[in-house]
Amino acid sequence: MAVFSNYYLETIIDHMLRGAAFTPPATVYVALFSADTGLQTNAPTAELTGGGYTRMTLALDAASDGETQNTGLIEFPVATGDWLTATHAAMVDHLTNSTWGTNVNVLMWKTLTVAKTALTGDMLKINVGDFAITIT
């Protein structure tokens, strides 16, 4: 199950209950992290870097019964160098910006079921339906 970041929770509440303007991102992306440090507070410190790593586009099903999930296979680029072990994934609102809380935000995040290290030549994948978001 994905967890809403404080940033996204506050944005949704202010929009829904206080009439604050909010334009949802046209595209959301999956970012990988080697720890959950700062994900909840929109100030992560452990996003993977280097070796060909980049955030990937996330396409989601229409919500049904409070749940949605990725509609397609998410394939990260082939690692051109060893990556740190990916233990967490987050939905973020920009492909390349890196100033957290200013020009990129964590929307939701989750602990990966299986931590994975990409070594040179490896490709990390998230199978269809494995990035699920449930609101209860």
5-69-89-14 Cα dihedral, nearest 10 degrees: -10
User: Which residue, chain included where needed, has tokens 């987050």?
Assistant: 90
Q: Which residues of 25-43 are buried (b: 16+ CB within 10 A; e: fewer)?
A: eeebbbbbbbebebbbebe
Average pLDDT over residues 36-48: 97
Provide the number of structural domains found in the chain: 1
Tokens of 83: 């990556």
Give φ, ψ of 50 to 5 degrees. Answer: 70, 175
Average pLDDT over residues 28-55: 97
Average pLDDT over residues 67-86: 96
Read off the amino acid at residue 32: L
With a pLDDT cut of 70, the percent of the chain lying above it is 99
Q: Is the pLDDT of residue 2 over 90?
A: no
The reported pTM is: 0.94
Domain span holding position 106: 3-134
15-28 pLDDT tens trace: 999 999 999 999 99
